[in-house]
Structure 1
Amino acid sequence: MPLVLQEAVEADAPRIVEVERLAYASNPLSPILFPGPFPPEAAAQRAEGMIKQLREDPTVRWVKAVDTETGELAAFAKWEIIEKPKVPVPGRSFGPGCNIEACEEYFGGIHRKRRELMGDKAHCLLDLLQTDPKYQGRGAGSMLIRWGLDIADALALPAYLESSPVAHRLYQKFGFRDIDELVLSPQWNYGSANPSVYFMLREAQGQRQSNE
């Protein structure tokens, strides 16, 4: 059955966390970044953290793709519509079961580069995009990308994201181009996996109107 887009709400958080777990289960980075063990409350803590950000950060937008037959959340995206400089959040917690050193290199490296590239520029950030594997190939990811790009185009803002090698070509189809790349240390033994992170930008479409 078709998928439709809806606003995601706080009650969706447990399913969002489940989809996140399923989506990253086959990612070769997962056992390196999050080797475990994980306490029983780990999923609930992750959901609570996401809800807290949704409540406290007015730039955050949640959107979901829903299976019209079952009502199940098939995919999820978190966009941030950043029209004025944000106050950086001090410190980061990677949650239980993490490899702190590897997470700092990976997530810390991403956020430092994000700050370097985008700084205080107005833009739309695609921060999370996750699809339950059983719904892959049905266009959910494309729908969620287009949703945010429509907002970016209406505001004449550039769109920015960080991509894994797996999703790289999909984002290129939507007009994103590489502006930098993060290559992680080989000390973590990624095997045949490509641990690169691509920093990608889609230029603003149209002329932004000044509010001043």
Structure 2
Amino acid sequence: MTVRPLRSDEVEAAAALAARAFFDDPLFQFVYPDPSRRLAGFAGEHAAYVRYVYAPYGVCEMAEADGALAGLALWLPPGAEVPAWREWTALPALVRGAGLRRLPAVRRAYRAFDDAMPDGRFWYLGLLAVDPEAQGRGVGSALVRAGLARADAGEVGTFLETGTATNVAFYRRLGFEVTGEIPLPGGPTHWAMWRAPDSTPDSLRV
């Protein structure tokens, strides 16, 4: 398995993979309550985020296994300043998938994530997605560890949010700890998780 930068011609396939991975996620059941519109809505929204937010201002990495796309990780580095209009580029996809009536509720939920961001400098893991057919093969761990190596090299922490207890356990195995809860207005509560930088030499890590 190889972790490498996502190419521009792979964005659509990566967004579709992420949509499959998050189909049953509590947040995206809330954002896209109609299952028949969820895959297309999520994929359109996150393709826009990749192109206009994470690709120009962050790091987009994929895991390749047996010549196929197996996972995706989206990161923002410490101090990233993303202009507001960049995030607005996902609004058309949100409207198509969630419906115009739901847009205010969805935006309130997303703002709760913004309000929960910690102070200081840190790497932010905005998305980790593993193709359902590649689950259990270490894809997610490989993608996260690649990002943690950058954070450790820069001696800064790493922050993320997750909405499932299974994911909390997964991230704890990688050194994250729960720092609080993020109640989303009208939606599911998420956990905020933080990992301090690790100065242990690679040769001594288990």
2:193 corresponds to 1:200: yes
The one-letter amino acid paired with 1:89 is A
Distance 2:168 2:12 in 1: 27
Q: Following TM superposition, where does structure 1 have runs of at least 4 consecutive aligned residues deviating by more than 4 angstroms? A: 36-39, 41-46, 90-94
How far has the Cα of 1:140 moved from its partner? 0.5
Runs of 5+ in structure 2 lacking a partner? 200-206
| Larger helix fraction of residues | 2
Matching of residues 150-189 of structure 1 within 5 Å: 150-165=149-164, 166-185=166-185
State the 1:46 CA deviation. 4.5
Whole-Å separation in 1 of the counterparts to 2:55 and 2:182: 31
Consecutive unaligned residues of structure 1, counting only runs of 5 or more, are: 189-194, 207-212
Aligned to 1:89: 84
Deviations along 1:133-158, whole A, 9 cap, x unmatched? 11111110000110011111111111
> Normalising by the residue count of structure 2, what TM-score does the alignment of the two structures yield?
0.79
Return the alpha-carbon distance in structure 2 between the equivalents of residues 13 and 171 of structure 1.
25
**How much does 1:55 deviate?**
4.7
Deviations 1:84-143 (A, max 9, x none): 3635636745422223243123221111111xx23xx22111111001111111110000
Alignment check: 8 A CA contact 2:20 2:131 kept:
yes
Preserved contact between residue 54 and residue 76 of structure 2 (Cα < 8 Å): no
What SS does structure 2 have at the residue aligned with 1:97? helix
Determine the C-alpha separation between the residues in 2 that align with 1:18 and 1:85. Answer: 26
- 2:63 paired residue among 62, 65, 84: 65
Equivalent residue, structure 2, for 1:138:
137
The one-letter amino acid paired with 2:53 is: Q
- Which residue, out of 102, 106, 110, partners 1:107? 110
Higher-Rg member (1/2): 1
Amino acid at match of 2:137: R
Which whole-Å deviations, capped at 9, do the CAs of 1:133-187 have from their partners, x for residues lacking one? 11111110000110011111111111111122231111111111111211345x5
Distance 2:73 2:121 in 1: 19
SS of 2:137 mapped into structure 1: coil
Cα distance, 1:48 vs structure 2: 4.2
TM-score, structure 1 normalization: 0.77
CA distance in 1, matches of 2:51, 2:115: 24
Q: Distance in 1 between matches of 2:56 and 2:4?
A: 21
The change in CA–CA distance for 1:143 and 1:46 in structure 2 (over 3 A counts) is closer
> How many pairs are equivalent?
188
